[in-house]
Amino acid sequence: MIRVLVVDDQELVRAGVTLLLRTAGEDVVGEAADGHEAVRLADRLRPDVILMDLRMPRVDGIEATRRILAAAPTTRVVMLTTFGEDAEVYGALRAGAVGYLLKDGAPEDMIEAVRRAARGEPLLAPAVLSRVVARALSAHREEAEPGELDTLTPREREVLALVGAGRSNAEIGADLHLGVTTVKSHVAAVTEKLGLRNRVQAAVMAHRLGLIDDDFKPVR
């Protein structure tokens, strides 16, 4: 059971998200109406995952995320918002959020995001991931270094391509007929070899290396 803190300035949204997660079998340990309260409750309750609204009074979600992760870096924060502007996406990711979901998404996507975050698997809504990659590529138009791909084994290239397609470890394992633990080892090896900090950077790198096409599908 995953311990979750729900943060949103709208009481109805908090109630709905809390009911959804509890019905799915997760443990909602607290609710906060703004970033200031979120920081206080996160310090006291030590949740595994925080669903964090972006725009709130007093302290917004990005600043709250910075403060929470400075004190508890293993906490996983998933941003939950009605907005998808690029600047806000980047602000959330720079603050340390591991996921970014739009509130108009499917309920099962939110449940899956919480569970993936708890497993250390970042998740971005597909529409958000595509913008993140596009912006990163436009900001860094240089081609990948010729030797970068050569540092990876064929299996690691396959894993990187599927990370770039937005697949979870379980989905990668099913595609490649590997155990989840083995997939995690491959992902760790890829990020270390390429000097990457997270899976979002890995997704960008997969595109730079030509492993993913414009439709977010692995290049065979």
* pLDDT tens readout for residues 186-202: 998 998 898 886 777 78
Calculate the alpha carbon distances from 180 to 127, 149, 159, 201 in Å: 26, 23, 12, 21
For domain 3-134, which architecture applies? Answer: 3-Layer(aba) Sandwich (3.40)
Q: What percentage of the chain exceeds 70 in pLDDT? A: 84
Indicate the range of 45-54, 79-88, 170-179 predicted with least confidence: 79-88
Q: What is the mean pLDDT of the chain?
A: 84
The top-scoring range by mean pLDDT among 116-125, 153-162, 207-216 is 153-162
Which two structure tokens, joined as six digits, stand for 33?
Answer: 């109406």
Give dist(CA 202, CA 147) in Å, integer.
Answer: 16
pLDDT at position 133, please? 65
Q: Same CATH fold, 143-208 and 3-134?
A: no
Which CATH number is 143-208's, of 1.10.274.10, 1.10.10.10, 3.40.710.10, 3.40.50.720? Answer: 1.10.10.10
For the whole model, what pTM was predicted? 0.71
Give dist(CA 13, CA 22) in Å, integer.
Answer: 14
What is the residue extent of each domain of the chain?
Answer: 3-134, 143-208
Indicate the range of 112-116, 133-137, 175-179 predicted with least confidence: 133-137
